[in-house]
Structures are given as structure tokens and as C-alpha cells.
Amino acid sequence: MKKRVLCIEDHADTSKLISAILDDYEVVSANSLEDAERKVAAEKFDLYLVDYYLPDGLGLEFILGVKSLNGETPILMVTGSPVEESQAESLGADGIIKKGTVSFVDNLRNQVSQLLK
């Protein structure tokens, strides 16, 4: 059975790219905080990938909310925003992957693999 990843990303093309990169996992997409919260309430996930800016708020809101409910599920911020690793971790994320970098694909695969061993 494949591990399940919730990808909270408002750009459909980025969600599709992440799904293709993480083809060893079952990737479920959510395009807003509200959509993500509905899916978390109804389903179980092994990892959350969270963009910083979403159409109805900040990924930070999701991280804080989900950490209070279930602090065990790892969270990676996947963003092009100027958020530093230390900031992401202080918010409750287990790491950050920067969009638009040369190493994006490798970083995504490696960090997800590490967290879902």
C-alpha cells in the first residue's frame, strides 16, 4: 500500500508536477486551506506538503491547526516565498523545499523519502 501525501497547492500545474515527481506515493491535491481541512478531517495522510500562500490564507494556518490535532504527521513547506528553513521549522514544519530551484526535484524526492521511511 502506497503512503499518502496531501499536497496543498493552489496552482494545478505545480500539483501535477509534484504528483509526477512523487509517483511512488499516492498524492492527493488540495487547492485551498478549506479544501485541505476537509480532506484531513475525512482521510488519513502520512505527509503534508504545504505552500505558504494559498487563496484563502497562509499555509502557516494549516500547519498550526494540524499540529494541534496530530503532531506526528510530518509537514514540508513547498514554496517560492522567502521563508527560511529555521522559520519553517519554528512554525512546526519538518523542513522546506524551495520551488523554482535547480535542485527542486531532487530535494523533494529526498526529503519526502527521508520523512516516509
Model pLDDT for residues 4-37, shown as the tens digit of each residue? 999 999 999 999 999 999 999 999 999 999 999 9
Q: What pLDDT shows up at residue 81?
A: 85
Whether pTM exceeds 0.75? yes
List per-block mean pLDDT (blocks of 10 residues) for the chain, which spans 117 residues: 96 96 97 96 96 92 85 91 81 90 95 95
DSSP state of 93: -
Q: Write the single-letter amino acid at 28.
A: V
Q: What pLDDT shows up at residue 13?
A: 95
Q: How far apart are CA 62 and CA 15, in angstroms?
A: 17
75: exposed, middle or buried (C-beta count within 10 Å: 0-12, 13-18, 19+)? buried
Q: What pLDDT shows up at residue 82?
A: 83
Residue ranges covered by each domain of the chain: 4-115
Classified by CATH at the fold level, domain 4-115 comes out as Rossmann fold (3.40.50)
Q: What pLDDT shows up at residue 56?
A: 96
